[in-house]
Structure 1
Amino acid sequence: MTYDLAPPKAVGMVASLSSLGYSLPDAIADLVDNSVSAEATLVDVEFTWEGPDSWVAIVDNGAGMSEDSLVMAMTVAARWSASDRTSTDLGRYGVGLKSASFSQCRLLTVCTAQGDGHWTTRTWDLDIVEETNEWRLLREPPAEAKKVLDTLTRGRSRGTVVLWQRLRGYGHTSASDTKTQRGFYEEIAKVSLHLGLVFSRFLAGSSALTIRVAGSPAHPWDPFLSSHPSVRRLPEEKLPLDGHLVRVKPFVLPGQQRLTPAEAEAAGGPKGWLRQQGFYVYRRNRLILPGSWLTMRGLRREEKYNLARIAIDIPAETDVQWQVDVRKATVVPPVSLRLHLTRIAKSARAEAAKTVRHRGRISARQHSGDLQFAWKVDRPSGTVRCRINREHPLVQALLQEGTAAPEQVRALLRLLEETVPVSALRVVHEPDTADDPEPFGGPGAASKEATEVAQHTLDLLLTQGRSHDQALKTIRSMPPFDQLAGFWSN
């Protein structure tokens, strides 16, 4: 056998690791994985603005590392997924610490102690790596890092500190740049929300993990509303995969009429109801994929399936079959499970759609006395049907012989044009869209046309024997005037 050794160049490898597509919340979550694996009970994510000297640090009270373990942790791809890992290890390829950090900074320092107060440090300075084209792992931190580390390790005897300096995107700013400073600190809320989602099972479970971002605790987000009495749990299934079991647990969330406004807003999650439906893939209790139908054929996001959410727990030993990527952010379902997952998804989606339709019928019965809708939408025999509401005051007036006037006809036609029941049609038939028309230009002050239609409606209500106050109350409850401000407003 003849061969050449062709090791990757340090400069090219750094550039590759820095370009894996991490967002700041994703990168920090990757480092919190290491803290969880080290059995930390407290993780602090610190942000400090100092212009080009700004820094971010992840500090935990975990078991810490020996010097040899630290060097291995700082070495790119020192471990493969088949290496000796504990059952709580959230790692994958052994590149997360480096790739996540290099995507955000050019000076990475890790400082660790195992309980004796002796802190061991190693630093990657990418300026030196690029200048020498060698993997020179510094044994002593540069002065700019040492000052911060002294503050972060003071009073601690164990744990690990990951310090990011020379942050990407801030190299040419100044400490007095208030606009950039505001953007820097706005990342705090995004990071906290993301960590509460990804590590929700750890934050809410028996592990007693606490994550603080800039001093405030990250709160767990339960996408399945597990503690709500109205959530429906469909039968759990355990699907075999290469000697392991994949657990699939479908949930149908309660309709929003069973939720308080605060519960409904929280249940919508960071991306909103439509984008949070679907599968939630967990690996060792760590969320990898939040809300996706996994690009499987015949499954697409539609509003009528908003209440369908399905938890999938995949064994870490099946990472290859699921094609878990370096960032632990995407998965591809194994071919052998796709039919089963599609079947489970369709069943959950059907139950969710029933709940949505049932909610619509209840809502119509509850509010029909107050809200005079211009349209009635239903689906008899599986066919969508739209009918003009004969009980609407404008329609009733026109149906009475000899009372119709051109102004009234125009007012009714304009009202019908502006209140086409797009949302109701979407629930029973069509996929969701982001460009639903807004009647008379949307909520806010009423336009001249809207005011004219409302005035004709008021006149008709008065001629039908209602008092002025009763007529105004009816208009205030009538779409679209319930979303517009005009003479009928309180």
Structure 2
Amino acid sequence: MNITPTNTTLSDFYDIVAPDAGAMIETLRAFGYHLETSIADIIDNSVFAGAHNIWIDCTWAGEMSTIAIRDDGCGMSEEVLKNAMRPGSKNPLQDRDSKDLGRFGLGLKTASFSQCRKLTVGSKSEGNGIAIRSWDLDYVNECGEWRLIRPNKENIHPVFSILDHQKCGTIVLWEKIDRMIKGTDINDEKHQNHFFEQLDILKSHLAMVFHRFLEKPNGLKIFLNEKEVKPWDPFLRNHPSTQHLPPEYIIYCGKKINIRPFVLPHRSKLDDRTYELSGGPGGWNERQGFYVYRNERLIVPGDWLGLVFRKGQTIRKEQFTKLARIMVDIPNSFDGDWKIDVKKSVARPPNRIKDKFQRISRLTIEQAISVYRYRGKVSERNNDPSFSFPWSTSVHHGMYHYSINREHPLVSDILRNSGNARKKIQAMLRIIEETVPVPLIILNDSTNPDKIQRPFEDVPPAELKSVLEEIWKSLIESGIPNADAKKRLHHMEPFSDFPDFVDNFILNQTGDN
């Protein structure tokens, strides 16, 4: 039915209400980016452009500081660049290249606007000259229009001359970086230190987000102020004590989602430097959970995705689950289903497959808890009666009680040969058991988990040897053969953490390896 009366035009039935340029562009600044997530968004474009090298140059000059991101990708022609500078240059509903790391056509602009008030992009594609366009937010506010500046030769920043020496590539330049350096003094050491502290955070973030690109032979290289960014592997895949649980896959909408669970080694299996590095940005507790990748680019760096563990309780990041990390690979066609946002920082599995993710998370968490509680020796303990712990745990009427293991070789030997002192020794053991400072241990373990001293950590070897000698005597005097005694020592806390020391000790005692 035609609802348009005669003598009228279609424009009589609607108004064109364009957004105010100044107001909209300031709104685009409020997406909640940090420096590191902003630059990661810029790098996404470089990766999609086929770049082999990306250089990030951060120059400290107080309020005149600049950040330039340069690549050797395919570059853009004049028309392509102009469209790329348009806010909303892509419709997220349209099909796109399977390797595309973007979705909304906003990343370059929103990421840049969140950090600076002047964005200039220069690009050179093969066979074309250098094209340069600039957004100056102060100028947009002043004129009230979406005026994309075409800089003249006198106003072009010197950094863009680098493109003269490249066959192709792109440079993104940030000036007026108000969110980071507004009000700073070039001569203020505190301001300068803060600037470079942010770069340290940036380096760690890029090493994490793009680690799968950086790990490949002849793959991507990223340089931050001329220093190469090395990849950070969240899963410690090359460590002998890392548990690679069986990989799984889920078919969703005809496409495969690959899932690879890992349980990382207990603290006792890692040297201090490896332990510190393996914690990653934010530390061990923060980095547990699912790692969601889209086209090998990390979207979610450790999160339990709002999943439920048991009895309807949402999985939380706890100290005892921190060793669980699960790799998930999804195609970019699932962005809408997974609710991936503009910043590429949030993802949630579709309801149809959420139960599968909950099952995988439970299996991984249970194994991680076992490793955390038993220092990675739970399977040995379950299958080998010679595995001996000094402490035992019991539950009575729902209450946990910790007691000294009376079957431990040294305890058993002392009690057996204590004579008239037996009652006093038993009383002493009971006092120790009843006064274990459990609340204080729990508090310290939750607030400063990495400051809990490990058994015989930083003590002279002679002290460890003196304790080892008494245990050895107790085992031999009870009639246990040398070979069995050796095996028991290797399976006994805390000597199981010092296998080489135990071997040398036994060699000196028996002359046998």
Q: State which of 117, 123, 129 in structure 1 corresponds to 2:140.
A: 129
Does structure 2 conserve the Cα–Cα contact (< 8 Å) formed by 1:294 and 1:332?
yes
CA–CA distance in structure 1, aligned partners of residues 275 and 362 of structure 2: 24
Indicate yes or no: 2:359 matched with 1:348: no
Indicate yes or no: 2:444 matched with 1:434: no
Q: Which residue of 2 aligns with 1:445?
A: none
Equivalent residues, number: 426
Letter in 1 for 2:39: I
- Identity across aligned pairs (percent)? 38
What SS does the aligned partner of 1:386 have?
strand
Distance change in 2, residues 1:236/1:329 (3 Å): same
Deviation per CA, 1:5-42: give whole Å up to 9, x if none: 22221112111110101000000000000000000000
CA–CA distance in structure 2, aligned partners of residues 175 and 417 of structure 1: 55
Deviation at 1:156, TM superposition (A): 2.4
Deviation per CA, 1:184-221: give whole Å up to 9, x if none: 12222111110010000000025610001111111111
Indicate yes or no: 2:353 matched with 1:337: yes
Q: Greater shift after overlay, 137-146 or 26-35?
A: 137-146
Residue segments in structure 2 that go unaligned for 5+ positions in a row: 4-12, 310-314, 382-388, 453-493, 495-513
Q: Which residue of 2 aligns with 1:189?
A: 200
Q: What does 1:138-287 correspond to in 2, within 5 Å?
A: 138-140=149-151, 145-150=156-161, 152-153=162-163, 155-168=165-178, 169-206=180-217, 208-287=219-298
Does structure 1 conserve the Cα–Cα contact (< 8 Å) formed by 2:118 and 2:137?
yes
CA–CA distance in structure 2, aligned partners of residues 354 and 62 of structure 1: 47
Deviation at 1:94, TM superposition (A): 0.3
Q: Which residue of 2 aligns with 1:378?
A: 393
CA–CA distance in structure 2, aligned partners of residues 305 and 57 of structure 1: 40
CA–CA distance in structure 2, aligned partners of residues 112 and 316 of structure 1: 26
Does structure 2 conserve the Cα–Cα contact (< 8 Å) formed by 1:10 and 1:133?
yes
Indicate yes or no: 2:46 matched with 1:31: no
Does structure 1 conserve the Cα–Cα contact (< 8 Å) formed by 2:98 and 2:331?
no
Q: Over aligned residue pairs, what C-alpha RMSD do you find?
A: 3.9
What SS does the aligned partner of 1:280 have?
strand
Residue segments in structure 1 that go unaligned for 5+ positions in a row: 366-372, 427-431, 440-477, 479-490
- TM-score norm. by structure 2 comes to 0.74
Indicate yes or no: 2:72 matched with 1:53: no
Letter in 2 for 1:330: V
Indicate yes or no: 2:22 matched with 1:6: no
Indicate yes or no: 2:403 matched with 1:387: yes
Q: State which of 65, 68, 77 in structure 1 corresponds to 2:79.
A: 68
Does structure 1 conserve the Cα–Cα contact (< 8 Å) formed by 2:291 and 2:298?
yes
Q: Which residue of 1 aligns with 2:6?
A: none
Does structure 2 conserve the Cα–Cα contact (< 8 Å) formed by 1:122 and 1:141?
no
Does structure 2 conserve the Cα–Cα contact (< 8 Å) formed by 1:422 and 1:436?
no
Deviation at 1:127, TM superposition (A): 0.8
Does structure 2 conserve the Cα–Cα contact (< 8 Å) formed by 1:46 and 1:58?
yes
What SS does the aligned partner of 2:176 have?
strand
Does structure 2 conserve the Cα–Cα contact (< 8 Å) formed by 1:109 and 1:141?
no
Letter in 2 for 1:310: I
What SS does the aligned partner of 1:163 have?
strand
Deviation at 1:337, TM superposition (A): 1.4
Distance change in 2, residues 1:144/1:25 (3 Å): farther
CA–CA distance in structure 2, aligned partners of residues 307 and 75 of structure 1: 44
What SS does the aligned partner of 1:153 have?
helix
Distance change in 2, residues 1:377/1:438 (3 Å): farther
Does structure 2 conserve the Cα–Cα contact (< 8 Å) formed by 1:117 and 1:157?
no
- TM-score norm. by structure 1 comes to 0.77
Deviation at 1:383, TM superposition (A): 7.0
Letter in 2 for 1:62: G
Higher-Rg member (1/2): 2
